[in-house]
Structures are given as C-alpha cells and as structure tokens.
Amino acid sequence: MFRFFNNRKWLLWAWLGSTIILGSLWLQVEIDVKINEWFGVFYDMIQKALAAPNAITLEEYFESLLSFITLAGMYIALYVAISFFTAHFLFRWRTAMVEWYHSVYDQARTIEGASQRVQEDTIKFTRIMEGLGTSFIESIMILIQFVPILFGLSIGIPIFFFGEWEYGLIVGALIWTLGGTIFLIALGWILRLVGVEYDLQKQEAAYRKVLVIAEDDGNVRPKRIDELFDDVRKIHFLSYIRYLYFNIGRMAYLQANVLSAYVFLAPAIVAGVVTLGVMQQIIRAFGRVEGSMQYLLKAWPTIIELASVYKRLREFEEKLQLSEETPTTDTK
C-alpha cells in the first residue's frame, strides 16, 4: 500500500505532493485565523455604530464587508484547489498500488477475492483517505493555531465554573467534548447498537445465501425464504427503534453544543467585560477548537471503515508475498 512513497517512479508525486497538500492546508487555516480576527473588528464596529448614530461611515462599513469577501474568496479558491489536487494525488497513489497488483496478478488470481481487493478496496482506500486524511490534518492544524488564540482572548475574562483561570475556556472545551463523546459511547453501548448491526448483517447474509441456493435448487420452498425475510424485517425494525433513541441523545448533545460557549462566557457577558467583537472571536475560536477535538467522534464510523479496508489489503499483500516465495522454495 505504501510503495507509493518509496517507488522511484512516484517519488516526486508522493513527497512533493504531500508537501503541497500540507502547506496548502496550513495556509487555509491561516486564512481562517484572519477571518476570525475580522469577526472581532467587524462586530466591534457594529457595537460602535449601534451605540451612537453616525459613529461610523458607510464607506467604513462596506470596506469591512469587502475585506471579508476578499478573505472568503481566498479561502474558497484554496479549498477548491486543495480538493482538486488531493483527488489527483490519491489517484496516483491508487495507480501505484494497482500497478504492483497487476505485475503479480498471476499469483493474485489464485487468492480468493483478488478482483475485489484490486478494484473495490483500492478505490475505497483512496476515497476514504481523501476525506479522512485531509480533515484529520486540518483538525490538528486548527488546534495548533486556535488554542493559543483562545488562550489569549480568555485572559482576564471570568469563565463559568473556572473563574478567571486563563485555561478555563480550553479546559471547558475539552471537558465538554470528552463528556459528549463518553455520553454517546455509553448510549450506544446501552442500546447494543454494535450487537444489532452484527445481527442485522448475519440475518441479511442468511437470507442472501438461501436466495443464491434457490437459483439452482428447486427444492428450496418460498415459505423458507419468507421466514428468513421475516427475521430480516424484525431485526431492521429493532434497529430503527434503537437508533431512534440514539439519535434523540445525539441531536440533544449537538443542539446543546451550540450553547456551550455562551454558557462558559455567561459571567463575562453579564458583567459586560467583553465587547461584542471579542465575544464573537471567542465563540468562533471556541467552536473551531471544540470541533477539532470532536474529530474522532464525528469520523469514528469512517475510521472503522478505513481500518477494515486497510486490514483486507494488508492480508491480501501478505498472501501475495507468500505466494511469490513459495515457488522459489519448491525449486530448491
């Protein structure tokens, strides 16, 4: 899978491409930081305008909006460019994998599921990496950039529960994120979601197997097929009920998530020690830090899928290497 990074043919794409993607993502986060600063300046200007008539000019107002449009335009252009380049980068990675599989396909054809590994799993691997890899790197970069910003903005500001402790907002975001993650994991465990998914796959497999047998065996009666489909129906309906309860808890947490920053800032807002601009900066930075900390929670199903694909491809390559060594051993 990782021959892409040590194959001479693909070295330039592998290492220069990786550098371009990392540099572009860092630049994208830098623009996001500038946008966060713009929110502070803009909302302070709004507060000034609302406090006294004609405190700002119409030119100043539209100039501020134009600066946001410029930053947003740069962010969008860079986002599109990164997505385009990353797609090409990962297809080259897939090509490097497939070329090696093709070169040893005489041995590969004897391995069960070889065609599925070469075609389906390679494209799954690259597509998952396209979304998961870039979002993971971006989350790390956001934490590197926004944690110091959040720390600087929270100095001297009273925070709910933490008082004027300078790390209050950062620790608050961490506690809220970990608390939500533990809550949802516990809810999934109580509802046995993994067990329900396993039973669902098991019943579907049994139903599919009988249908395949029925194509060649006229002795398989429709009643037997109906009974199996009835089992499939029951497990699906059970999963709907379980996920109904899980989604209630999940959506409740996500909606409460919107208010978390306002709760922590409550003492500062009530005391009037923050301006509207600073409050917007803090709330946006808090949301970015919190969102990055929730990466594992949001991406967990995709991570599981990637791990499964990686495991299948790794086992496939191990069998290929073993089959390459076997003829050499036999000739001695």
Alpha-carbon distance of 29 to 34, in angstroms, equals 9
The single-letter code of the amino acid at 293 is M
CB 282 within 8 A of CB 153: yes
Alpha-carbon distance of 188 to 301, in angstroms, equals 13
Alpha-carbon distance of 128 to 305, in angstroms, equals 8
Query: Which of 130-144, 159-173, 290-304 is predicted least confidently?
Result: 290-304
- pLDDT tens readout for residues 147-179: 888 888 888 888 888 888 878 888 888 888 888
The mean pLDDT value of the chain amounts to: 82
Q: What is the mean pLDDT of the segment spanning 184-202?
A: 78
Query: Which of 149-153, 181-185, 315-319, 322-326 is predicted least confidently?
Result: 322-326
Q: What is the mean pLDDT of the segment spanning 136-147?
A: 88
- pLDDT tens readout for residues 273-293: 888 888 999 899 888 888 887
Predicted TM-score (pTM) of the model is 0.73
Q: Is 43 helix (H, G, I), strand (E, B) or coil?
A: helix
Alpha-carbon distance of 194 to 197, in angstroms, equals 5
Alpha-carbon distance of 309 to 1, in angstroms, equals 11
Alpha helices in the chain (DSSP H): 11, 17-51, 58-103, 105-108, 114-116, 122-154, 168-190, 193-216, 222-264, 266-271, 276-293, 295-331
Residue 118 pLDDT exceeds 50:
yes
- pLDDT tens readout for residues 82-114: 999 988 888 888 888 888 777 776 776 666 666
User: Please, what's the b/e burial string for 201-217 (b: 16 or more CB within 10 A of its CB; e: otherwise)?
Assistant: eebbeebeebeeeeeee
Max intra-chain CA distance, the chain: 95
Q: What is the mean pLDDT of the segment spanning 67-87?
A: 93
Going from N- to C-terminal start, the domains of the chain cover 3-157+274-331
